[in-house]
């Protein structure tokens, strides 16, 4: 039981940093949801004379995700960036790590990040108004990566 405890991270165990292309760092304090999607395009290779797939190949990696945060904090970040909306933000960095001791570090650093969609809704009865940002990135940084 005690051994498993070190593998269980709650949301408060993460530190989330957003670095704009002017290299101003901004800790995301009011994050509601952060999603990260690391994927690659796959293709099934068939050969003549055989019905079963001969090979499953992949290439073209994709790094994308969403950041949902409170609109007030997003407004402050936009002021730092000197812009009125998120889709002008390019070449940013999203860096996420765990701050409590676990067996291994959960580190994700996405670079060359571009905000592709800045989505906000204000509902008449809302108690808070989080905005959703969709992003895509060029690379994931990892000093431990052997296969990247």
The radius of gyration of the chain's CA atoms, rounded to the nearest angstrom, is: 19
Residue with smaller CB distance to other proteins, 105 or 119? 105
- How many Å apart are CA 133 and CA 148, to the nearest integer? 26
- In contact, 61 and 38? CB cutoff 8 Å: yes
Write the burial class of residue 123 (CB in 10 Å: 0-12 exposed, 13-18 middle, 19+ buried).
exposed
Residue from 6, 22, 42, 105 touching other proteins (CB under 8 A): that is: 105
H runs (alpha helix) in 7-59: none
Mark residues 37-76: x for contact with other proteins by CB under 8 A, - for none.
Answer: ----------------------------------------
Residue from 101, 104, 122, 124 touching other proteins (CB under 8 A): that is: 101
Residues interacting with other proteins, by CB under 8 A?
12-15, 17, 19, 23, 25-27, 29, 93, 95, 97, 99-101, 105, 107, 109, 111, 141, 143
């Amino acid at each position: 039981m005690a051994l498993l405890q070190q593998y269980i991270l709650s949301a408060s165990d993460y530190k989330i940093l957003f670095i704009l292309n002017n290299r101003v760092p901004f800790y995301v304090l009011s994050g509601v949801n952060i999603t990260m999607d690391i994927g690659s395009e796959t293709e099934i290779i068939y050969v003549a004379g055989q019905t079963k797939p001969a090979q499953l190949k992949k290439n073209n990696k994709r790094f994308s995700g969403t950041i949902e945060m409170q609109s007030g904090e997003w407004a402050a970040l936009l002021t730092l960036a000197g812009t009125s909306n998120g889709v002008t933000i390019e070449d940013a960095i999203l860096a996420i790590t765990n701050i409590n001791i676990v067996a291994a570090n959960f580190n994700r650093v996405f670079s060359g990040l571009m905000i592709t969609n800045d989505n906000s809704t204000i509902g008449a009865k809302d108690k808070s108004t989080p905005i959703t940002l969709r992003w895509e990135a060029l690379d994931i940084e990892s000093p431990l990566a052997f296969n990247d």
